[in-house]
Structure 1
Amino acid sequence: MKINILSGCVLAASMLLTTSCSDFLTEDPKGQLTNETLFKTKADLDLAVNSLYSNIQGFQCNSNTMIVQCMGDDVTSTTGSNKAAYLAADVFEDPTDLKGVNDLWSWYYNIIKASNYVIDCANFMKADKSELGEQLGQAYFWRAYAYYGLVRTWGQVPISPEEVISVDLKNNTDAIPCATVEQIFNYIVKDLKAAEECNLPEKYSAPKAIGDANVFVTSQAVKSMLSAVYMSMAGYPLNKTEYYALAADKAKEVVDAVKARNVQTLLTDWNKVYSYGEDNHNECILGIYYNANTGSWGWDDSQLTCCHVPCSLPWGGWGDFLAERHFWSKYPAGPRKDAVYAKTYLTSNGNNVDWWATVDGEPYYKVKGEDGKDKTNAVFSDYRPMFTGFSVNADDKGAAQKIDFDCTKPIYAGMTLGKRHQLIRYAEVLCWFAEASARSGKYIAEAKEALKQVRARAYSDAAAVTAIDGMSNDQLAEAAYNEHRYEVAGNVLGMVTCREDEFRMNRLKEVFDYRVGPQSDVLVPAGTLTHSVDAKGNPFEYKLKQDLVLPENMQAKGAWRGDKSVYHIYPPTEAERNPNLKR
């Protein structure tokens, strides 16, 4: 893989392009550039930070590391394809295809190793540590970020030795004990507090910012993540509810900074949130940035453009992360829903149809023909809504257009792009502030105002906004919890996804229970006006003759297995090397 990190490529290659699985945890410094040969100035340390950011790009350059998010009730995947790993997560089964397990584990520990390298090298430099706050702040933050992902995906995991240059080879071992969940969370908090003490700015200038967007971690990002971490500690599995008060305090610091200095923006138009034309807006507090000009399929390319597009559409879709029909049916109507989901599908001959449309206007069917192939009257055989968060329109030559996405126009099928990955947005912090405040009984008036801001741009019905005024604390907490899920639906690359929300509230079993049951909720009611095309591609309209009730393609089965259902299995090759990796 190509590494795009200026002149630090030699350092990155010697540090991180390892082949031994044990190297994800422990260091072998032989051949590395040491502090004696390189790290003498801040500029030298910047090379290690560049290497860290190269690994952050690699962590999300393709969809493998997000497979675990299929546990959430917002996303599923394509059946009858090469999506076994995605579908196993979707129905809470142990995967036989281990690409998601292996890649997520290795990338998190690569980020940790790269962060440790920055911190350890800084410790060996003669420079005043107060002059290295920017570099150290990045390393502390991203190390915490990686452990935050690990602890919510696997529970107990090893804490990688922090010493890199000074590692004791005689005592270097693969068999590192697993830290408890509480120990890992305490380690995360310690790192985030260390990042806070680095006094990172709220706003950078170029090249550490692009337009209004910060490329490097800011103080706002640190505070936002700390709020989310405290919320996780308040929920499952620690259930230390006193942490909701700390979460509210930290989120309030973010909100207060926006009020005082306008360091973040809540976009007025939801269609701008995932717009490639507005890719550098500063509602995004934390993002990962990719190179738009490479097309290299390397770490510096985002390879997610086609991941949300169903395979049956004429736009080269991969169908990795498809929209669950049930979640879509419960999603509140309004500008946000129209931006998160495609309102219609564009056919190859230029007509716009509803996802539930059939070519004959009759109730949907899908059966096996005598030849063993599926037969259906659906216009598009995937027969489900589509998320648009990764989607970009194409011009008449097929090139990506930097405009707001429009589902009535052709979709870019180039597969790789430089579109930013949004990990934390200000709207999410407003939801966290509202929920944590409600659960702790603090800042209630301000919490209601925060949630009203989120709903005001999301809903068509103004009553949904004014209803917040009359909510009890419990109602406010539940409303804010759900509002966050709506805000991040389909955004499987976010720091806190639907899966993570449901994990914290110990509600993933509810997702399983629905999927293992009859799934009898009405998705689209009878009488709904439907836009369709017939078998020859001619457009027509009809009204649904009966309620559309349809279970998900991948049926969950068996019994709930507790922690074994919600946590990933440990990578088998890692478990062979480290006998402590067992559940």
Structure 2
Amino acid sequence: MKKYIILFVSIVFLISCELDMKPESDLTYNGFWDTEEAAKAAHVGIYANFRNYHSTIWRMGEVRADLWGGATFANSPSDLDLIENNISTSIVYFSNWANFYGLLHYINDFIKNAPEVEFSNEQDLNHMLGQVYGLRAFVYYTMVKAWGDVPISTEPLLEVDLETLKKPRAPKTEVMNQIKSDIAKSLEYFGNDNSLWLGKTIYWSKAATLALKGDAFIWSGKVLGGGNADFNEAKSALEQMTEFELESYSNLWGQVNENNLEFIFTVDYQKDQASNFYGSWTTTRAVDLVNLTDEHGNPMDNFVVNGLSRYGVSEKVLLMMDDTLDQRRNTFLRVYDDGSVHVPFQAGDPSYQGSILNKFLGVIGDDGTRWDYNNVPLYRYADVLLLLAEAKNNLNEDPSELINLVRARAYGDNFTGHEYINGTKAENTQAILDERLKEFFAEGKRWWDLVRAGDNYVFEEVATLDADEAYKIYYSISESMLANDPELKQTDGY
């Protein structure tokens, strides 16, 4: 722990390129918290910083599941050990707690100091505090899912005192209590204010906190043994979200549709600021498409793309998402080398070369280049509906109506005959998991979904993880972390 804190305090805290703040030292700013403008600048900086963690959050919740590991055109695949769940004390992913404590410093600093600043409109301050408490809960929720027991730090770094900076890992139940406390504070500060900050979903909101509450309380109820009390809290939170709706697929994806009524909280990507990681990971290079065709035999030579293929869609997913009546089949473009028609998809087909993710393809600019400036949702209304279905199922209630709302959007005019009929709790759980896989492919949710489902679902669905390796649900920490801080203990089982 000492190691990452030393690294962290050596950097300038506020990373937004729009701000020009001169630090008094590595730990504090001279007069930084004197004005409303400075507090709002710090608020902007938190989101700029949060965006830097998006790819880490995605890899944590996506790559270990059953989604990837397929063909990657001519590109070298990434994260093969993670895909294979080959994790140990020597193969450590996301060391130094993925540097999340750097992000938490910004958040803790705001929570401590912003309330001391005089605002011309107190509701602005309350809204920002509601946002920041929600973000802190989200960060700790990500960490407790990833490592289980983690140190809890709710104070900003005011000085470098290596002895006081050493902290043991708090039990996961204690971390979850911190998450629940932050969720409650977030909702308290938002009060009855359901507005979006500046009218944009790139800022946290009361709706985002309610979505997080549903998500986290189901995890607490299922994974940490909280049971029906937690499931009821999740259900209540999710049922409050009535201002959103499912968009048609034609209005869901793409930069022109980023203000749709389904997105609740999104990570912001803009030209001259940052592009998202999908183009570099889940597309390919134009040179790789020469002489190749799509599944209908249409040439791909003129398809504009300038990325890489580092994660190949698994055959399991290609088969599960091969219903031509389900619009989600178009989540990716399947590419072949023989010019023939390949519908339906056939596993083991030697002419299949790979798939291009179609969900976040960006736009083609005036220069003929494809730019990856799509905002990426972390929560959207389909998520709320299926989480609510999950909460109801855990309470032995019928989730079929909620599942069918999502299915009806996916099938459109072809929905008749594809309705889901309420089954046993186990059958409903499987149906929800399958629906979430199709709905949220490549959105960073599948691994968490499988673990949150409990029982043996994660071992049944993920071929690279056996039940006797259940300790691998949580990540290991590095030997250097243990050597640098005797307060830390290795994750159980490693």
TM-score range, shorter chain: 0.7 to 0.9
Out of 233, 236, 242, the residue aligned to residue 249 of structure 1 is 236
* 1:138 equivalenced with 2:131 (yes/no): yes
Shift in CA distance, 47/346, structure 1 to aligned 2, threshold 3 Å? farther
Q: What's the secondary structure of 1:322's corresponding residue?
A: coil
Q: Deviations over 1:388-417 (max 9, x none)?
A: 222246479523xxxxxxxxxxxx3x5xx3
Mapping of residues 40-439 of structure 1, within 5 Å: 40-60=34-54, 62=55, 66=59, 69-76=62-69, 83=77, 86-94=79-87, 100-102=93-95, 105-106=98-99, 108-125=100-117, 132-165=125-158, 172-199=163-190, 201-204=193-196, 208-209=198-199, 213-238=200-225, 240-254=227-241, 258=242, 263-268=243-248, 270-294=249-273, 300-309=274-283, 312-313=288-289, 315-331=305-321, 333=323, 334-342=325-333, 344-345=334-335, 354=342, 378=351, 380=353, 382=354, 385-392=355-362, 394=364, 397-399=367-369, 412=370, 414=371, 417-439=372-394
Deviation at 1:250, TM superposition (A): 0.9
Q: Which runs of 5+ in 1 are unaligned?
A: 16-28, 295-299, 366-376, 400-411, 516-555
Deviation at 1:225, TM superposition (A): 0.6
Deviation at 1:153, TM superposition (A): 0.9
Q: Deviations over 1:277-333 (max 9, x none)?
A: 312223110101122235xxxxx3323223212575454442233211112212372
Q: What's the secondary structure of 2:240's corresponding residue?
A: helix
Deviation at 1:193, TM superposition (A): 0.8
| Equivalent AA in structure 2 for residue 5 of structure 1 | S
Q: Is the contact made by 2:58 and 2:443 (CA closer than 8 Å) also made in structure 1?
A: no
Q: Aligned residue for 1:505?
A: 453
Between the aligned partners of 1:448 and 1:94, the Cα distance in structure 2 is 37
* 1:455 equivalenced with 2:442 (yes/no): no
| Equivalent AA in structure 2 for residue 276 of structure 1 | Q
Q: What's the secondary structure of 2:182's corresponding residue?
A: helix
Shift in CA distance, 450/68, structure 1 to aligned 2, threshold 3 Å? closer
- Whose radius of gyration is greater, 1 or 2? 1
Between the aligned partners of 2:343 and 2:418, the Cα distance in structure 1 is 27
* 1:575 equivalenced with 2:482 (yes/no): yes
Between the aligned partners of 2:93 and 2:424, the Cα distance in structure 1 is 41
Deviation at 1:152, TM superposition (A): 0.7
Q: What's the secondary structure of 2:266's corresponding residue?
A: strand
Q: What's the secondary structure of 1:159's corresponding residue?
A: coil
Percent of residue pairs bearing the same amino acid type: 16
| Equivalent AA in structure 1 for residue 360 of structure 2 | F
Q: What's the secondary structure of 1:345's corresponding residue?
A: strand
| Equivalent AA in structure 1 for residue 332 of structure 2 | Y
Between the aligned partners of 1:566 and 1:253, the Cα distance in structure 2 is 32
Shift in CA distance, 338/132, structure 1 to aligned 2, threshold 3 Å? same
Aligned length: 455
| Equivalent AA in structure 1 for residue 490 of structure 2 | K
Between the aligned partners of 2:475 and 2:282, the Cα distance in structure 1 is 23
Q: What's the secondary structure of 1:50's corresponding residue?
A: helix
| Equivalent AA in structure 2 for residue 282 of structure 1 | L
Between the aligned partners of 2:136 and 2:335, the Cα distance in structure 1 is 41
| Equivalent AA in structure 2 for residue 305 of structure 1 | G
Between the aligned partners of 1:478 and 1:181, the Cα distance in structure 2 is 26
Q: Answer 1 or 2: higher relative contact order, Cα 8 Å, separation at least 6.
A: 2
Q: Which has the higher helix share?
A: 2
In the superposition, the TM-score normalised over structure 1's length comes to 0.69
Q: Aligned residue for 2:299?
A: none
Between the aligned partners of 1:391 and 1:418, the Cα distance in structure 2 is 9
Shift in CA distance, 265/397, structure 1 to aligned 2, threshold 3 Å? same
| Equivalent AA in structure 2 for residue 120 of structure 1 | K
Q: Aligned residue for 1:562?
A: 470
Q: Aligned residue for 2:21?
A: 10
Shift in CA distance, 327/122, structure 1 to aligned 2, threshold 3 Å? same
Between the aligned partners of 2:98 and 2:167, the Cα distance in structure 1 is 15
| Equivalent AA in structure 1 for residue 321 of structure 2 | Y
Q: Aligned residue for 2:3?
A: none
Q: What's the secondary structure of 2:280's corresponding residue?
A: coil
Q: Is the contact made by 1:307 and 1:321 (CA closer than 8 Å) also made in structure 2?
A: yes
Q: Is the contact made by 2:76 and 2:310 (CA closer than 8 Å) also made in structure 1?
A: no
Shift in CA distance, 78/97, structure 1 to aligned 2, threshold 3 Å? farther
| Equivalent AA in structure 1 for residue 223 of structure 2 | Y
Q: Aligned residue for 1:33?
A: 29
Shift in CA distance, 49/100, structure 1 to aligned 2, threshold 3 Å? farther
Deviation at 1:174, TM superposition (A): 3.9
Q: Is the contact made by 2:218 and 2:234 (CA closer than 8 Å) also made in structure 1?
A: yes
Between the aligned partners of 1:357 and 1:65, the Cα distance in structure 2 is 27
In the superposition, the TM-score normalised over structure 2's length comes to 0.80
Q: Which moved more, 1:571-580 or 1:502-511?
A: 571-580
Q: Which runs of 5+ in 2 are unaligned?
A: 1-10, 291-304
Q: Is the contact made by 2:326 and 2:410 (CA closer than 8 Å) also made in structure 1?
A: yes
Between the aligned partners of 2:59 and 2:384, the Cα distance in structure 1 is 22
Between the aligned partners of 2:265 and 2:340, the Cα distance in structure 1 is 35
* 1:488 equivalenced with 2:440 (yes/no): yes
Q: Deviations over 1:310-365 (max 9, x none)?
A: 575454442233211112212372333233232x4387x9x68649989xxxx968
Q: What's the secondary structure of 2:459's corresponding residue?
A: helix
Q: Is the contact made by 1:345 and 1:353 (CA closer than 8 Å) also made in structure 2?
A: no
